Amino acid sequence: DAKTTQPTSMDCAEGRAANLPCNHSTISGNEYVYWYRQIHSQGPQYIIHGLKNNETNEMASLIITEDRKSSTLILPHATLRDTAVYYCIVRVENGQNFVFGPGTRLSVLP
Amino acid sequence: DAGVIQSPRHEVTEMGQEVTLRCKPISGHNSLFWYRQTMMRGLELLIYFNNNVPIDDSGMPEDRFSAKMPNASFSTLKIQPSEPRDSAVYFCASRGMGEKLFFGSGTQLSVL
């Protein structure tokens, strides 16, 4: 599975959009981009995933660049409860492995 | 569904003792994963099962660690003998036919 690079930490003001970037320059054509988050002391939680088209669900939007070498997770109106570590993972669909990197620690500030 | 259930929630033991962590995956899920999380090493995949069969145990740190999945509704992770460096949060996760991985609440293990 391709390696990902994320900033170590980010801050965001409550009510504003949080944009979390992820670089995956070695992604293969059949690899998807997944996002999970881990709120303190809980297990990671699935957010969204996509291949090349932009995706949106009730939690977030996923924007993938045309060359697929990077993506951005967007939380449109961040709340204090969105403070968490956000993990970007690249893997083949239906592949077995889910390998988590260090992620981005997002702090939503009042 | 109650989600992935792990027990115990907390475990404190002394070095050299055997520790058994338990996991009940979501009913109908056919893949099960064991992870370990520490501040230093983050979230590490230890082993995963597909249809109760271990597929990849390359993440298991050493022979002191073993995992079993005797049936589709139960898995154990055993450490024998335990050491202080095994102190961590151990997560179990399961996955069905979709792409979402569902995690349990974890077991906080402290080896004194």
Run of H or E including A20? strand A18-23
Nearest-angstrom CA–CA distance, A3 and A1:
7
Confidence of residue A13 (pLDDT cuts 50, 70, 90): very high
Nearest-angstrom CA–CA distance, A69 and B4:
34
Nearest-angstrom CA–CA distance, A96 and B91:
17
User: What is the structure's pLDDT at B1?
Assistant: 66
Q: Give how far B29 is from chain A: nearest CA, Å.
A: 13
Q: Give yes or no for residue A1 having a pLDDT over 70.
A: no
Long-range CB contacts (< 8 A, 24+ apart) of A54-57?
Answer: none
Residues in A whose CB is inside 8 Å of some CB of B read 32, 34, 36, 38, 41-46, 49, 87, 93-94, 96-103
CB pairs under 8 A between A and B: 49
Query: Cis (ω within 30 of 0) for the bond into B84?
Result: no
The answer to whether B25 faces chain A, any CB pair under 8 Å, is no
Q: Do A100 and A71 contact (CB within 8 A), yes or no?
A: no
Q: What is the pLDDT of residues A65-97, one digit of tens each?
A: 999 999 999 999 999 999 999 999 998 776 667
Q: Give how far A86 is from chain B: nearest CA, Å.
A: 12
Which two tokens mark B45? 């995949």
Nearest-angstrom CA–CA distance, A85 and B71:
33
Question: How would you write the pLDDT of chain B (112 residues) with one tens digit per residue?
Answer: 689 999 999 999 999 999 999 999 999 999 999 999 999 999 999 999 999 999 989 889 889 999 999 999 999 999 999 999 999 999 999 998 877 899 999 999 999 9
Q: Is A96's CB within 8 Å of B42's CB?
A: no
Q: What is the pLDDT of residues A21-60, one digit of tens each?
A: 999 999 988 889 999 999 988 999 999 999 998 999 999 9
Which two tokens mark A30? 């059949």
Evaluate the CA torsion angle A65, A70, A75, A78 in order and state its sign. negative
User: What is the structure's pLDDT at A80?
Assistant: 96
User: What is the structure's pLDDT at B86?
Assistant: 96
Pseudo-torsion of CA A98, A99, A101, A107, nearest 10°?
20
User: What is the Cα Rg of chain B in Å?
Assistant: 13
Q: Give how far B7 is from chain A: nearest CA, Å.
A: 14
Q: Do A27 and A33 contact (CB within 8 A), yes or no?
A: yes
User: What is the structure's pLDDT at A92?
Assistant: 79
- Which residues of A are less than 8 Å from B90 in CB distance? none
Q: Which chain B residue shows the shortest CA-CA distance from A35? A: B100
